[in-house]
Amino acid sequence: MNPDRMDAMIKSANDAYEAIRTLNHATLTATVPAPVAYALLGSLRQLEHAVARLATQLSSGLRRSLTEYDVYDDTRDPAQSVAMAAAALAETATHADRTAECAAAAQLAITWQGFRLDKEDDR
């Protein structure tokens, strides 16, 4: 993999973090009506499935790196480090998929909820 592609992947991860951070700030004290929460939860569900896939692909990529690069590790056998990381990434994928399921359940719970901008408006 060339250095530009490596940098682009790191930048994409940072951009994803910043997008979530922006949403954290936006919702900190906001009143969020159900239709908005519904849309956010749908995107969160998709995001979590993507995180699970990324964790699985990172694990595979780490394993491949052992044969494609001259890998070293100052504390243990590189294969052992990769195996440890792969186990943690498998757990990450499991939890991300579970988080997606929880977001879907929250989304389902508010599916039919709406709101009126003016509380006095009974139309």
Torsion of CA 107, 110, 116, 120, to 10 degrees: -150
Q: What is the mean pLDDT of residues 59-63?
A: 98
Bigger pLDDT: 121 or 61?
61
Domain parsing of the chain, residue ranges: 34-112
Mean pLDDT estimate for the chain: 95
Q: pTM value? A: 0.88
CA–CA gap between residue 96 and residue 59 (Å, rounded): 15
Q: What is the mean pLDDT of residues 99-121?
A: 92
Position 120 pLDDT exceeds 80: no
Position 28 pLDDT exceeds 70: yes
Q: Tell me the two tokens of residue 97.
A: 């998929």
- For residue 123, the model assigns a pLDDT of 44
Position 48 pLDDT exceeds 50: yes
